[in-house]
Amino acid sequence: MALFKDLSAKLTLPTRDTALPGRETPLPTAETHFVNGRPLKGPYPEGTETVLLGLGCFWGAERLFWQLPGVWVTAVGYAGGITPNPTYEEVCSGRTGHTEVVLVAYDPADDGFGRLLKAFWESHDPTQGNRQGNDIGTQYRSAIYVSNDAQLTAALASRADYENALARAGFPAVTTEIGGPQPLYFAEDYHQQYLAKNPNGYCGLGGTGVTCAVPASVV
């Protein structure tokens, strides 16, 4: 019975009354990217745009994005929930409402956001709700938190197109949450660029095998 209660808590988003209180002070974290040495929290070059992408465990997801052309820097953290400045353990409890996300700072030229969306959709299963494979809980839910209206339009268009492609392949409806700007609470130092520091570490990425064609509205 206790195991069932624990699982139920992980699969149910908390309310403001049931969420953990968190703290006012941000958690200590790395200042620079372990791979490219750039500042995680900026300043970013003029013209750079940012987006928060959640597609399961953020270790493998971050590595995916820092390798893409046009990406200036990446960092991992928690977003979309209630608890301010949560710890990893608090997020894992299911009582913060946050999902694990990757902050991607990128050059929007040459359809940079379209490349991010294609990688996002193809690298996880966006129909699984509060899980990715064996990783279960609200912290693994699929999410896109944009920073401007153009990104929002593009993200919504790509979700509709990819949902149609998934449906043709027999998959259920997409559960990805798409919303506006969210506070990002940077994760602890050891999570930043985790798979660069631990090359044999766990990577939970796994797509559906369905190709995402970036819609014309993104280009």
Strand intervals (E) in 80-141: 99-106, 131-132, 135-136
Strand intervals (E) in the chain: 49-54, 71-79, 99-106, 131-132, 135-136, 143-145, 177-179, 185-186
113: three-class secondary structure by DSSP: helix
Distance of alpha carbon 74 from its chain centroid, rounded?
A: 11
Of 57, 92, 203, 212, which one is the catalytic site residue? 57
Whether 57 sits among the annotated catalytic residues: the reply is yes
Question: Using CA atoms, how far apart are residues 191 and 87, in angstroms rounded to an integer?
Answer: 11
Q: Using an 8 Å Cβ cutoff, are 19 and 82 in contact? A: yes
Which residues are annotated as catalytic?
57
